[in-house]
């Protein structure tokens, strides 16, 4: 098992999915046949969280694997202490799922309560520090309701990897996004409900990193 930069096709992009569903062997094989290159799966607790067995199913099928955290309930409130605690939890769950250091791990941020960009940045940056210190590559899934402008996304966060949700969200100034979630969500591919995504190099040449066989 290795961690490598996302492998882009001749057109400079590659296609993949994210899903809350556990991936089974036949689905992984079908995704590969249909031209998908990667899967993004959730780390955390509960029946839909990534396991080491599922990790191997995905990579053994020739697909890249990245991970994303579960988002908070609508109206949650950010803080530096919250971000630090979430980062510690992220590391525990990533290691429990067998995620290798160097893999891109995205934070699902969406639907907060009333807050400022500064408070949200404190939360994200504290979380980033913890996860990066443990060897993972933090990224932001920029979902609905976030308080940032385009400039603030780039200037206020200690991140170099941004994933655009299918919600209406601002661009990231200077850098842009390296992964884009397609609209509409909840499409059906090979008998599974998934969201479809495209990876491309961002404006500064950055792409995420995935685990591969």
Determine the pLDDT at residue 119: 98
Model pLDDT for residues 147-159, shown as the tens digit of each residue: 999 999 999 999 9
% the chain with pLDDT above 70: 100
Q: Which structure tokens are listed for 166?
A: 């299918």
Backbone dihedral angles phi then psi of residue 64, each to the nearest 5 degrees: -75, 150
pLDDT at 96: 98
82 pLDDT tier (thresholds 50, 70, 90):
very high
In this prediction, residues 101-125 reach a mean pLDDT of 98
How far apart CA 162 and CA 115 sit, in angstroms, is: 21
**Gap between the Cα atoms of 120 and 148, Å rounded:** 9
Residue 10 half-sphere exposure toward CB, CA atoms < 13 A = 0
Q: Which CATH number is 2-212's, of 3.40.50.800, 3.40.50.620, 3.20.20.80, 3.90.740.10? A: 3.20.20.80
Question: Average per-residue pLDDT in the chain?
Answer: 97
């Amino acid at each position: 098992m290795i961690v490598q930069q996302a492998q882009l096709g001749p057109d400079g992009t590659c296609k993949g999915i994210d899903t809350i569903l556990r991936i089974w062997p036949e689905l992984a094989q079908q995704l590969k046949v249909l031209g998908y290159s990667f899967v993004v799966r959730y780390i955390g607790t509960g029946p839909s969280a990534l396991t080491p067995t599922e990790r191997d199913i995905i990579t053994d099928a020739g697909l890249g694997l990245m991970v994303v955290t579960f988002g908070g309930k609508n109206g949650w409130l950010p803080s530096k202490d919250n971000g630090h605690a979430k980062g510690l939890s992220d590391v525990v769950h990533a290691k429990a799922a067998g995620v290798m250091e160097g893999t891109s791990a995205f934070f699902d941020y969406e639907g907060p309560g009333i807050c400022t960009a500064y408070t949200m940045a404190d939360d994200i940056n504290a979380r980033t520090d913890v996860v990066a210190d443990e060897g993972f590559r933090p990224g932001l899934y920029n979902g609905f309701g976030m308080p940032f402008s385009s400039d603030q996304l780039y200037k206020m966060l200690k991140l170099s990897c941004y994933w655009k949700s299918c919600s209406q969200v601002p661009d990231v100034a200077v850098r842009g996004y390296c992964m884009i979630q397609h609209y509409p969500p909840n499409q059906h591919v090979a008998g599974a409900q998934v969201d479809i995504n495209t990876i491309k190099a961002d404006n500064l040449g950055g792409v995420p990193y995935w685990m591969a066989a």
